[in-house]
Amino acid sequence: MEKQMKKNSNLGTWVTTFNPDFLEVLSNTGFGWIAIDMEHSCISIKEFYILVGISKKLKLETFVRLDKSDHILIKKSLDSGVDGIIFSLVNTVSDVEKIRDLSLYSPLGNRGVALARPQLFGLKFQEYLNSSNRKLKIILQIESKSGIDNLDKILKLRNIFGVILGSYDLSSSLGKIGNFQSKDFKNYKNKFFNISKKHKTKIGIHLADYNLKLDHKNVSRYDFYAIGTDNIIQIKECQRIRKIIKN
């Protein structure tokens, strides 16, 4: 039996199904973080809460991907103990101001106060209150033409940990869904990267279909990267096995 691989803190993946065993596999094969997708998946809030608890015990840095306008789920996610939130389809300065208002405690925002898991249901309330605004990682998913056009103004705001490029939705906003080789896509991707570097913001990318030139050079320019999803990783492995077993 191989030994547990050392975690790569930059390497993560998307979790789209309720499969606690998959988190154990990730933790023991070198993955450092996960993003539980509560925007596109059918994971229930109860299942989400369980996954967060397991992930934290496995020392996987735990994020949730949410719609920026889902006020209730933002509250529930923060109270579950996630390390950060990836907010989808961020396009304007106003979007970010609302996100900060919902995610940060006073005086930086107006996050609701509850006795919940992150502060042991009140046992470590003051300790958590003192550190939460500083430790929470707010990541903006920039996935449209307008989002990149406004990115320079957006990144002048404070309390933003990083940005992540949403390649598929960006290609859709450019009228060329899934075409990552078009001149427009490449230009906007470079613009995203250059503006983020200018503001010294952490830069991430989600390579959902990791057949797209997955190599060290392709991901090393980013500070963090999500490779595939739980389902896509299983699909790729099944396809690999089928190619080996030709008959």
> Which residue would you say has higher pLDDT here, 126 or 167?
126
Say what the pLDDT of residue 1 is. 40
Summarize the confidence of residues 43-47 as an average pLDDT: 97
Cα 145 to the chain's mean position, in Å? 20
Residue ranges with strand state E in the chain: 5-15, 29-37, 61-67, 84-88, 137-142, 162-165, 202-207, 224-229
Q: With 80 as the cut, is the pLDDT of residue 219 above it?
A: no
What's the burial of 27, exposed, middle or buried (CB within 10 Å: 0-12/13-18/19+)? buried
Say what the pLDDT of residue 218 is. 67
Q: 């427009």: which residue's tokens?
A: 184
pLDDT band at 178 (very low <50, low <70, confident <90, very high): confident
- The neighbour count for residue 206, using CB atoms within 10 Å, is 24
The answer for 62, left when phi > 0, alpha when psi is -120 to 50, beta otherwise, is: beta
For 161-170, letters b (16+ CB in 10 Å) and e give: bbbbbbbebb
The pTM of this model reads 0.93
